[in-house]
Structure 1
């Protein structure tokens, strides 16, 4: 099969032929039709993000494809089924605290690395081996719609945070990082889940205006000034009602003071979800006042990725029409142009934009 291989950090990916994956029990092989390219993939491949990634490797996180082969223990999946390839691979021998590898991207600790060594190669290839439980059926779709369905891999990240907070219909949420790639997806998912209002702070007024145009007056845009105290006041004053939940999904480059300003807008007895990258590159961490947390009964959730049932639940939101896949403008590249795709993704990874790698451009 043809695949894109990262042999060394800070070097271009090499497109080569390599052996097809070999099927084992508890596994499926998927023909990859479309694989998303993360906006920060270049930062991973040049070593800047310092991901736990053993080389050489076929990168690529998540995909849409069709089942090529199933193991003997598969009772529902069959050859030809369209599936989401869930990139969050969990160890099966500790249900309480499973080790995790994010397929083709990174791992959590030594156990995650051990898992990565087996499920090593990601989705920048014509075929991929994944655990049976990571092949999530999406129903019959057109081949031409495979790229569009890659949007689910973006939606899933903030959806995990919204599930952690147990966001309820009628609640108001503030999305810190709302104008970014994952933050804008969070706005869309929160609205699909029935949020009363989504407070959307950001500095890019064009993106904020576009959100209101797309989603209507349930989105409350807030233009940030860059002054934390001023911005906290702006966000609180813009909210038509108390803010029940704040979800932060800002990247590592964001200032901790920006995150703190957003968090401090939540109401007493409110919820905070931390999903961003503050501190990942070193420097100051997030400092929150202990008395404020305690006396206001604030609940704080740290959430990396999403629970095992999230992909199937999110698919039902899409199939019901509550969450639209066509929010994204998609740019597609053939696998032979993978390095051009990585460059493009870095340059155009903002709100509602997606770069997709296709094994075949139809």
Structure 2
């Protein structure tokens, strides 16, 4: 099969013939129809993000495709079934704290690297081998829409945070980092889940205006000034009432002050979920006042990716039309143009837009 192979960080991808994967027990092989090229892929492939990825490897985070073959223990999946390839792979020998790898992208710790030696390759190829439980049925879809279904890779991240935060219909949410690719997806997901009001702070006035056009009065935007106290007050004013939940999904380039300004808008007994990259590349860590946390009974938790049961739930949201796939723009490239796709994603990727490879 053909695949885009990363042999060295900072070097172009090599599109070449590699061996076809053969599934064993607990594995499935999928014919890839659309594989997302995330907007920061260039930072991963250059090594700037410092992700743990043992090379050579086929990159790519998730894919949409059709089952080619499965191992002997599969009981429901059949060849030809449309599936989403969930890239979050968990070790099977520790149910409490499994090692985790984001297949084709990064690993977590030494145990993750060991897991990555087997489930190394991602979706930028004609075929992908994944754990059987990571092949999530989509039902019948139009092959032309496979690229839009690849938006699952973006939407599932904030969805996992909202599930952990216990978002309920009618609640007020602040999405910290709302003008980015994941932040825009978070606003769309919050609206789909029934949030009564979504406060969307950011510096990009054009992006904020676009959110208002898309979602109407349920989304209230705030132009950030960089003054932490003023920005917090503006977000609370836009909420026009108690803030129930804050989801922080700011990128590594953002300051901890921006994350703190948003987090501290939450009401007494409120919830804060941290999913972004603040401090990941050496910036200041997030400091929240101990007395404020304690006296207001604030719940703060981190969430990386999403729980496994989030994937079929998100598929159901999309199938119902509550999360409208038509609002997302997809730019498609052939596998042979993988490097071009990476550069395009860096320049054009953003809110409600996704670059995909169509092997």
Q: Deviations over 1:58-109 (max 9, x none)?
A: 0000000000001111111000000000000011111111110001000111
Match of 2:215 in 1: 215
Whole-Å Cα distance in 2 between the matches of residues 277 and 339 of structure 1? 25
Match of 1:258 in 2: 258
**Does residue 14 of the first structure (1) align with residue 7 of the second (2)?**
no
Q: Report SS of the residue matched to 1:246.
A: strand
Q: Would the aligned equivalents of 2:345 and 2:355 in 1 still touch at CA under 8 Å? A: yes
Whole-Å Cα distance in 1 between the matches of residues 204 and 49 of structure 2? 25
Q: Would the aligned equivalents of 2:255 and 2:283 in 1 still touch at CA under 8 Å? A: no
**Does residue 122 of the first structure (1) align with residue 122 of the second (2)?**
yes
Alpha-carbon RMSD across the aligned residues, in angstroms, is 0.8
> What is the CA-CA distance between 1:349 and the residue it aligns to?
2.1
> What is the CA-CA distance between 1:283 and the residue it aligns to?
2.6
Segment of structure 1 superposing worse, 269-278 or 324-333: 324-333
Whole-Å Cα distance in 2 between the matches of residues 302 and 148 of structure 1? 28
Q: Report SS of the residue matched to 2:48.
A: coil
Match of 1:195 in 2: 195
Q: Report SS of the residue matched to 1:220.
A: strand
Whole-Å Cα distance in 1 between the matches of residues 269 and 120 of structure 2? 43
Return the TM-score normalized by structure 2.
Answer: 0.99
Whole-Å Cα distance in 2 between the matches of residues 330 and 194 of structure 1? 26
**Does residue 316 of the first structure (1) align with residue 288 of the second (2)?**
no
> What is the CA-CA distance between 1:203 and the residue it aligns to?
1.1
Match of 1:280 in 2: 280
> What is the CA-CA distance between 1:142 and the residue it aligns to?
1.2
> What is the CA-CA distance between 1:111 and the residue it aligns to?
1.0
**Does residue 88 of the first structure (1) align with residue 88 of the second (2)?**
yes
Segment of structure 1 superposing worse, 60-69 or 199-208: 199-208
Q: Report SS of the residue matched to 1:35.
A: strand
Q: Report SS of the residue matched to 2:284.
A: coil
Between the two proteins, the alignment pairs up a number of residues equal to 359
> What is the CA-CA distance between 1:289 and the residue it aligns to?
0.4
After the TM superposition, which parts of structure 1 deviate over 2 Å for at least 4 consecutive aligned residues? none
Q: Would the aligned equivalents of 2:35 and 2:62 in 1 still touch at CA under 8 Å? A: yes
Q: Would the aligned equivalents of 2:251 and 2:277 in 1 still touch at CA under 8 Å? A: yes
Q: Deviations over 1:135-154 (max 9, x none)?
A: 00000111111111111111
Alignment of 1:116-155 (within 5 A): 116-155=116-155
Match of 1:269 in 2: 269
Q: Report SS of the residue matched to 2:307.
A: coil
